[in-house]
Amino acid sequence: MKFLLEAENLKVLNIKLMKCGGIYNALKIISMAETCGVECMLGSMVESKLSVTAAAHLAGVKKNITRFDLDTITLLARDPVTGGVKNEGPTLILPESPGLG
């Protein structure tokens, strides 16, 4: 990973919580990218609002996360999670209550 980040050809790194092993590993990757001046994007696979809400919270607190693609909750026929993040067009609305869902 460090080799890729230092290669100067990498402009944006797409991170998916489910592929990197969760928030802790994502934070390590984001920190390494920030050290190398690389922007990050948070993406997701077809996931419920639980994991998308976690990713949205993460996107809101790290300055080098400049993009996100977290609209996969709109692809689910039925989401088993109540509460959590809401999609309103291109905008994600985080819940005001504590927690992820």
Per-residue model confidence as pLDDT tens for the chain (101 residues): 777 777 777 889 999 999 999 999 999 999 999 998 999 999 999 888 899 999 999 988 899 999 999 988 888 888 888 888 888 888 888 888 888 76
Predicted TM-score (pTM) of the model is 0.85
Q: What is the pLDDT of residue 98?
A: 84
Q: What is the pLDDT of residue 31?
A: 94
Which region holds residue 89: left if phi is over 0, alpha if psi is between -120 and 50, else beta?
left
Q: What is the pLDDT of residue 75?
A: 86
> What whole-number distance in Å separates Cα of residue 22 and Cα of residue 11?
23
> What whole-number distance in Å separates Cα of residue 29 and Cα of residue 56?
16
- HSE at residue 48, side-chain half, CA atoms within 13 A, is 10
Q: Which of 30, 24, 16 lies closest to 69 in space, CA to CA?
A: 16
